[in-house]
Amino acid sequence: MMRQYELVERVTSYDPDADEALLNRAYVYAMRAHGTQKRASGDPYFSHPLEVAAILTNLKLDDATIASALLHDTIEDTKTTRAEIDSLFGEEIGELVDGLTKIKKLDLVSKVVEQAENLRKFMLAISRDVRVLLVKLADRLHNMRTLDYVPEAKRNRVAEETMDIYAPLAGRMGIQWMRDELEELAFRQLNRQAYEMIASRMAMMREVNSEAISEIEEALTGKLADSGIEATVIGREKRPYSIWRKMESKSVSFEKLSDIIGFRVIVGSIEDCYRTLGIVHTTWRTVPGRYKDYISTPKQNDYRSIHTTVIGPRHRRVELQIRTREMNDVAEYGIAAHALYKDGVPVKSGNGDGRREIESGAYRWLRRLVEMVSEGNTPEEFLEHTKLELFQDQVFCFTPKGRLIALPRGANAIDFAYAVHTDIGNTAIGCKIDGRLAPLISELQNGDAVEIITSKAQSPSPAWEAIAATGKARSAIRRATRDASRKQYSELGRQILMRAVDRAGKSYSDERLEGVLPRLAQHNVDDALAAVGRGELPSRDVLKALYPDYQEERPKGGAPS
């Protein structure tokens, strides 16, 4: 387990002005809060938030994010409350930890794929601060790394969720290494046989290809050095999942895919990228249709690089990615990397100016990230056609079984009850929000877990119609109150009629009434009785219809009853 000082040193190494006292307090607090709790692996529970924090130091995130990572499971899993976090660490961190606590409820959701769209919207809606998403991604990454300790039954669900939601999210945020690792870990769980087959074939190919790889690497480095270009050439290995995906989607054979040798060429400037491209293209024959310039036209997640494929030495197909160091950092670490550069030049930290640069840079990238996550034009992308503002009009709440219910903002527990089921709405008498009793008119907040308390004897109050925010609830209430009042009137009508029948010395039955409905111009017994109850249909008329021989008694001097 990482030591306290090690974590603090990691943070101060990229942000010398980080609040060390804050980090120390969060470390000690979280460690004490989790106490003797254990992970499925048998490790102390605290090792988990600590690893999550460590992952985030790789992304060079600010002290508040690292502290939130340490604290991310405290509200959900220990006695800690939001108020306590607020008072000890300030509201900024309180807000972050609270957001993570709410997302954590997603782990309860059972059929993820069906709800993926709502889950994504939910995450974005409560993550107006993108740092919440970053901590959540690191949390999921560590949970995936330790997935083998989780009970078998749960593993596939976690892996599917990772594949459906978290890996695309990491990609959307431009953190390629995290996306790759999440995908590989999920693929290994979901299709272990294929994973192992591909991995072992890859190991074999590595041996076969090793000579060719170093030969090409040498040739490439030599050519560039001859032209005075300082370049780092890195051999690039394909990942089992990306090979699998291509085998599946393009029906390309494993041999064909693994035969291709990939290199990344990292140079000092954009000019050198194009000079390198020129040298490569004049030295080796290019493979048509494989050249892509993402420098002049960056991908949506800010990915920049030149891609090309040539027929290299020994007639081997060689895939090349040519980019600057900054572009490489952005590709690996996402927009976070921008914070460390100013106009392509690394920001020197350690002096006052550098610090200011990092701060404004950090602010910029956070904002960019929100924009990026909220954009998206292609179906593969995280957020299909919807914009972030849209979700701000919605609240997402959970049923006790973890079903996610999307409601318009301003909706209350009455709306929630009707959204779950009309019967639940019609019999609701109260509710619990996050385990606490609350009035049904309570406005719901994102992430609330809502339990509706019902009673069969209950029918909805007509006043609810004005309180409900959703059309579904309003029309159901209208229908229910109409039904309820009709029921009351028909009961009243029945009593009136039975008394009248009784007084006439006859006996009443529904069947008999049914037989004379057409004469009374009524559709059914209940309608007829309700009409009597409302006073629209005199009981005398019904009596006459029921018993045509009935002669009305005329009490002397009195009006007919």
Minimum CB distance to Mn ion smaller for 181 or for 217: 181
Least spacing, CB of residue 181 vs Mn ion, in Å = 17
Choose between 19 and 139: whose C-beta lies nearer to Mn ion: 139
Phi first, then psi: what are they for 341, rounded to 5°?
Answer: -120, 150
Q: How many CB atoms lie within 10 A of CB 515?
A: 12
**Which residues make beta-bridge pairs with 453?**
430
The CA R_g of the chain, rounded to the nearest whole Å, is 34
In DSSP terms, 524 is beta-bridged to none
Nearest CB to Mn ion, comparing residues 51 and 329: 51
- Nearest distance in Å: CB 84, Mn ion: 18
Q: Which of 139, 183 has the CB closer to Mn ion? A: 139
> Which of 48, 121 has the CB closer to Mn ion?
48
**Cβ of residue 48: shortest distance to Mn ion, in angstroms?**
6
Task: Give yes or no: 511 in active site.
Answer: no
- Of the candidate spans 34-42, 112-120, 138-146, 228-236, the one that interacts with Mn ion by CB under 5 A turns out to be 138-146
Distance CA 523, CA 456 (A): 28
Residues in Cβ contact with 458 at an 8 Å cutoff, skipping those fewer than 6 apart: 426, 427, 428, 429
Least separation in angstroms between CB 12 and Mn ion: 25
Site for Mn ion in 45-84 (CB under 5 A): 73
**Closest distance of CB 275 from Mn ion, Å:** 47
The angle subtended at Cα 327 by Cα 326 and Cα 333, nearest 5°, is: 85
Orientation angle between helical segments 130-145 and 91-104, nearest 10 degrees: 50
Report in angstroms how near the CB of residue 336 gets to Mn ion at its nearest.
Answer: 21
Count of residues engaged in binding Mn ion, rule: CB under 5 A = 2
Nearer to Mn ion, 73 or 161 (CB): 73
Question: In angstroms, what is the minimal distance from the CB of 117 to Mn ion?
Answer: 24
State the residue number with the nearest CB to Mn ion.
139
Tell me if 363 sits within 8 A of 129, measured CB to CB: no
DSSP 25-80: HHHHHHHHHHTT-B-TTSSBTTHHHHHHHHHHHHTT--HHHHHHHHHTTHHHHSS-
Query: Helices marked H in 227-253 — which ranges?
Result: 240-250
Minimal distance in Å, beta carbon 118 to Mn ion? 22
Given the complex with Mn ion, which of 37 and 495 has the nearer CB atom?
37
196 as an active site residue: the answer is: no
Stretch in the footprint of Mn ion (CB under 5 A) among 91-99, 133-141, 261-269, 510-518: 133-141
**Helices within 264-351 (DSSP H only):** 270-283, 325-333
Residue whose pair of structure tokens reads 């956070």 in the numeric block: 366
Of 134-142, 149-157, 375-383, 441-449, which segment contacts Mn ion by CB under 5 A?
A: 134-142
Residues 6+ apart with CB under 8 A from 236: 262, 263, 264, 319, 321
440: CB partners within 8 A, 6+ apart: 412, 413, 414, 417, 428, 429, 430, 431, 464
Q: Which is nearer to Mn ion, 165 or 331 (CB)?
A: 165
Over the window 455 to 494, marking each residue x when it contacts Mn ion by CB under 5 A and - when it does not, the resulting string is: ----------------------------------------
- State yes or no: residue 139 binds Mn ion (CB under 5 A): yes
Pick the catalytic residue: 17, 20, 43, 76? 76
For Mn ion, the closer of residues 141 and 213 by Cβ is 141
What single DSSP character describes residue 418?
Answer: H
Please state the closest distance from residue 73 (CB atom) to Mn ion, in A. 5
Hey, is 540 helix, strand or coil? helix
Shortest spacing between CB 105 and Mn ion, in angstroms: 12
Only one of the segments 20-28, 139-147, 157-165, 435-443 lies at the binding site for Mn ion (rule: CB under 5 A); that segment is 139-147
Q: SS3 for 443-477, per residue?
A: ECCCCCEEEEEECCCCCCCCCHHHHCCCHHHHHHH
Beta carbons within 10 angstroms of residue 371's beta carbon: 11
**Tokens read off for 481:** 């109150």
Comparing CB distances to Mn ion, the nearer of 70 and 414 is 70
269 burial (CB, 10 Å; 0-12 / 13-18 / 19+) is middle
CA distance 424 to 420: 7
CA distance 194 to 462: 60
- Choose one: 135-143, 228-236, 288-296, 314-322; the region binding Mn ion (CB under 5 A): 135-143
Nearest in space to 295 (alpha carbons), one of 318, 276, 317, 319? 276
CB 453 within 8 A of CB 395: no
- Beta-carbon contacts of residue 13 (< 8 Å; ≥ 6 apart): none
- Among the listed residues 17, 43, 77, 375, the single catalytic one is 77
Restricting to residues 427-456, name those near Mn ion by CB under 5 A. Answer: none
Residues noted as catalytic: 76-77
**Which residues of the chain form contacts with Mn ion (CB under 5 A)?**
73, 139
